Chains A and B, each alone.
Chain A
Amino acid sequence: MSEMLIKNATVYDPINNINGDMMDIAVKDGKIVDSVSGSARTIDAGGRLVYPGGVDAHTHIAGSKVNVGRIMRPDDSRLNNKPGTKVTRPRTGYTVPNVYSMGYGYAEMGYTTAFEAAVPILKARHTHEELEEIPIIDKGGLTLFGSNWMVMDAIRENDLDRLAAYVAWGLLASRGWGIKIVNPGGGEAWGFGKNVSGLDDPVPNFEVTPRQIVRNLAEANEKLNLPHSIHLHCNNLGKPGNYETTLATFDVCKDIKSKRDRQSLHVTHVQFNAWGGNHWGDFESKAEPIADYLNNNDFLTIDMGQLVFGSATTMTADGPVQYANARLLKARWSNGDVELEDSSGVTPLEYHPQSYIHGIMWAIGLELALLTKDPWQVLMTTDHPNGGPYVNYPMVMTMLMSKKRREEEMAKIAELTFERTSIAGIDRELDWYDIAIKTRATHAKVLGIVEHGKGHLGVGADADIAIYDIKPDETDATTEYNKVEAAFRHAAYTIKGGEIVVKDGEITATPAGKTFWVRSSAPADGHERMMEDLKMKFKKYYSVNFANYMVQDEYVEHPYVVETGYQ
Chain B
Amino acid sequence: MIIKDVLCPFCGCLCDDLTVEVEDNKVIDVQHACKIGTSKIKGHDRIKAPMMRDDKNGEFREVSYDEAINESAKILANSKRPLLYGWASGVCEMMKKGVLLNEEVGGIIDNTASVCHGPSALGVQEKGLPTGTLGQFANRADLVVFWGCNPVQAHPRHMSRYSVFNKGFFAGKGRKSRKIVVFDVRKTDTAEMADEYVQVNPGEDYMVMSALRAIIADKADVVPDSVGGVPKEKLVELGEALKGAKFGIVYFGMGLTQSRGKYKNIDNAVSLITELNAHGKHSIIPMRGHYNVTGFGQVCAWETGFVNAVDMSRGIPYYNPGETCSNDLLMREEIDSAMVIAGDAGAHFPAQSIARMGKVPVIQVDPFHNPTTEMANIVIPTKVSGVELEGTAYRMDSVSLRMRKIVDVDFPSDEEVLDKIIAKVREIKGASS
- The answer on a CB contact under 8 Å between B302 and A67 is yes
Contact A544 B16 (CB under 8 A): yes
For residue B92, CB closer than 8 A to chain A, the reply is yes
| 0 or 1 for each of A53-68: is its CB under 8 Å from B? (1 = yes) | 0000000001010111
Does A83 sit within 8 A of B, measured CB to CB?
yes
CA distance A98 to B300 in the complex (A): 9
Q: How far is the CB of A405 from chain B (nearest CB, A)?
A: 32
- Cβ contact of A334, chosen from B130, B161, B302, cutoff 8 A: B130
Contacts of B129 in A (CB 8 A): 68, 72, 334-335
Query: A337–B274 contact, CB under 8 A?
Result: no
Smallest CB separation, A99 vs chain B (Å): 5
B139 touches A339 (CB 8 A): yes
**Given A547-B5, A548-B16, CB of A71 within 8 Å of CB of B283:** no
Verify B136–A72 contact, CB threshold 8 A. no
A133: interface (CB < 8 Å): yes
Residue B7 lies at the interface, judged by CB distance under 8 Å to chain A: yes
Which of A72, A133, A337, A548 makes the CB contact (< 8 A) with B283? A337
Which residues from B are CB-within-8-Å of A123? Answer: 398-400
Q: Is the CB of A335 within 8 A of B131?
A: yes
Q: Interface with A: B190-198, B309-317, B378-386, which one?
A: B309-317
Q: Which of B5, B167, B278, B306 has the most CB of A within 10 A?
A: B306
List residues of chain A with CB within 8 A of the CB of B307: 70-71, 74
Q: Is B128 touching A326 in the complex (CB atoms < 8 A)?
A: yes
Contact of A82 among B125, B136, B170, B316 (CB under 8 A): B316
Cα-based distance from A347 to B129 in the complex (angstroms):
10
- Tell me which residues across on chain A come within 8 A of B134, comparing CB atoms: 339, 543
Q: Mark the stretch among A87-95, A261-269, A425-433, A469-477 that contacts chain B.
A: A87-95
**How distant is the Cα of A14 from the Cα of B16 in the complex, in angstroms?**
51
In the complex, per-residue mask of A86-129: 1 if CB is within 8 Å of any chain B CB, else 0 = 00011111001111100000000000000000000011011001
Tell me if B162 is interfacial: C-beta within 8 Å of chain A: yes
B187 at the A interface (CB under 8 A): no
* Nearest residue, chain B, Cβ from A82: B316
- The answer on a CB contact under 8 Å between B16 and A346 is no
A464 at the interface (CB under 8 A from B): no
Is the pair A339, B317 in contact by a Cβ cutoff of 8 Å? no
Inter-subunit contact A98/B399 (CB<8 Å): no
Q: Which residues of B contact A332 (CB under 8 A)?
A: 125-128
Cα distance, A210 to B192, chains bound together (Å): 45
Known contacts A191-B140, A338-B136: A72-B124 contact under CB 8 Å: yes
Query: In the complex, what residue of chain B is closest to A77 when comparing beta carbons?
Result: B305
A347 CB contacts on chain B under 8 angstroms:
128
Q: Which residue of B lies closest to A120 (CB)?
A: B133
Tell me the dominant secondary structure on chain B's binding face.
Answer: mixed
Instruction: Tell yes or no: A193 within 8 A of B by CB.
Output: yes
Question: A77 and B317: CB pair below 8 A?
Answer: yes
Partner of A544, one of B136, B169, B394, B401: B401
Task: Please pick, from B127, B135, B278, B401, the residue contacting A339 in the complex, using a CB distance under 8 A.
Answer: B135
Residue of B nearest to A84 (CB): B103
A90 touching B130 in the complex, CB below 8 Å, given contacts A77-B306, A125-B400, A548-B16: no
Given the complex, which residues of B lie within 8 Å of A68, measured CB to CB? Answer: 129
B interface residues, how many (CB within 8 angstroms): 65
Given A125-B401, A544-B399; A335-B283 close (CB under 8 Å): yes
Picked from A84, A335, A540, the residue with its CB within 8 Å of the CB of B130 is A335
Interface pair A548/B7, CB less than 8 Å apart? yes
Residue of B nearest to A335 (CB): B130
B132 at the interface (CB under 8 A from A): yes
A255 to chain B minimum Cβ distance, whole angstroms, is 35
Judge whether A90 and B316 touch: CB under 8 Å. Answer: yes
Complex Cα spacing A326 to B277, Å? 12
Q: Which of B135, B247, B316 contacts A543 (CB 8 A)?
A: B135
Contacts of A133 in B (CB 8 A): 96, 302-303
Identify which of B100, B135, B301, B392 contacts A70 (C-beta below 8 A).
B301
A543 to B305, CA, bound (A): 29
B269 within 8 A of A: no
Q: How far is the CA of A193 from the CA of B245 in the complex (A)?
A: 11
Q: Which of A67, A72, A338, A548 contacts B402 (CB 8 A)?
A: A548
Q: Contact: A122 with B306, CB < 8 Å?
A: no
Q: Which residue from chain B places its CB closest to the CB of A100 in the assembled complex?
A: B303
Which single member of B127, B133, B281, B398 contacts A192 (CB below 8 Å)?
A: B281
Instruction: Tell me whether B4 and A547 are in contact (CB under 8 A).
Output: yes
Q: Does B280 sit at the interface, judged by CB under 8 A? A: yes
The reply to whether the CB of B319 lies closer than 8 angstroms to some CB of chain A is yes
B16 and A192 contacting across the interface, CB-CB below 8 Å: no
Query: How long is the Cα–Cα vector from A129 to B398 in the complex, in angstroms?
Result: 13
Q: Which residue of A lies closest to B13 (CB)?
A: A543
B79 within 8 A of A: no
Tell me if A309 is interfacial: C-beta within 8 Å of chain B: no
B133 and A83 contact, CB distance less than 8 A: no
A2 CA to B182 CA, complexed, in Å? 67
Q: Which residues of B contact A89 (CB under 8 A)?
A: 100, 103, 303
Chain B stretch 298-357: residues in CB contact (< 8 A) with chain A:
298, 301-307, 312, 314-317, 319
Kindly state whether residue A390 has any CB partner on chain B within 8 Å: no
Interfacial chain A residues near B278, Cβ < 8 Å = 327
Query: How far does the Cβ of B299 sit from chain A's closest Cβ, in whole Å?
Result: 8
Verify if A468 is at the interface (C-beta below 8 Å from B): no
Within 8 Å by CB of A545, from B17, B126, B305, lies B17
Could you give, for residues 524-567 of chain A, a 1 whenever the CB lies within 8 Å of some chain B CB and a 0 otherwise?
A: 00000000000000001111110110001010000000000000
CA distance A561 to B34 in the complex (A): 41
Interface residues of A in 294-343 (CB under 8 A from B): 323, 326-327, 332-340, 343
Tell me which residues across on chain B come within 8 A of A542, comparing CB atoms: 135
Tell me, yes or no, whether A13 is within 8 Å of chain B by CB.
no
CB neighbours (8 Å) of B312 from chain A are 90
A interface footprint on B118-155 (CB within 8 Å = 1, 0 otherwise): 00010011111111111110111000000000000000
A71 touches B136 (CB 8 A): no
Contact A71 B297 (CB under 8 A): yes
Q: A83-B315, A544-B401, A545-B5 are in contact. Are A90 and B304 (CB under 8 A)?
A: yes
* Whole-angstrom CA separation of A462 from B358 in the bound complex: 57
Also in contact, A98 and B398, with CB within 8 A (given A89-B103, A332-B128, A339-B138) = no
Interchain CA distance A543-B303 in the complex, whole Å: 28
Partner of B304, one of A92, A96, A205, A337: A92
Q: B241-269, CB under 8 A of A: which get 1 and which 0?
A: 00000110000000000000000000000
A67–B133 CA distance with the chains assembled, in angstroms = 15
The distance in angstroms between the C-alpha atoms of A544 and B135, with both chains bound, is 8
Q: Tell me, yes or no, whether A373 is within 8 Å of chain B by CB.
A: no
Contact assessment for B304 and A548 in the assembled complex, using a CB-CB cutoff below 8 Å: no
Contact: A98 with B304, CB < 8 Å?
Answer: yes
Contact A73 B125 (CB under 8 A): yes
Is A130's beta carbon under 8 Å from chain B? Answer: yes
Closest Cβ of chain A to B399, distance in Å, is 6
B168 within 8 A of A: yes
10 contacts between A and B (CB under 8 A): A89-B303, A91-B316, A92-B304, A332-B128, A334-B124, A335-B130, A337-B133, A340-B139, A547-B5, A548-B401
Given contacts A92-B306, A133-B96, A337-B132, 7 further A-B contacts (CB under 8 A): A67-B302, A72-B124, A98-B302, A327-B274, A542-B135, A545-B16, A548-B5
B residues at A contact (CB < 8 Å): 4-5, 7, 16-17, 92, 96, 100, 103, 121, 124-136, 138-140, 161-162, 167-170, 246-247, 274, 277-283, 297-298, 301-307, 312, 314-317, 319, 390, 392, 394, 398-402
Shortest 5 CB-CB distances between A and B: which pairs?
A77-B305, A339-B135, A337-B132, A543-B135, A92-B305
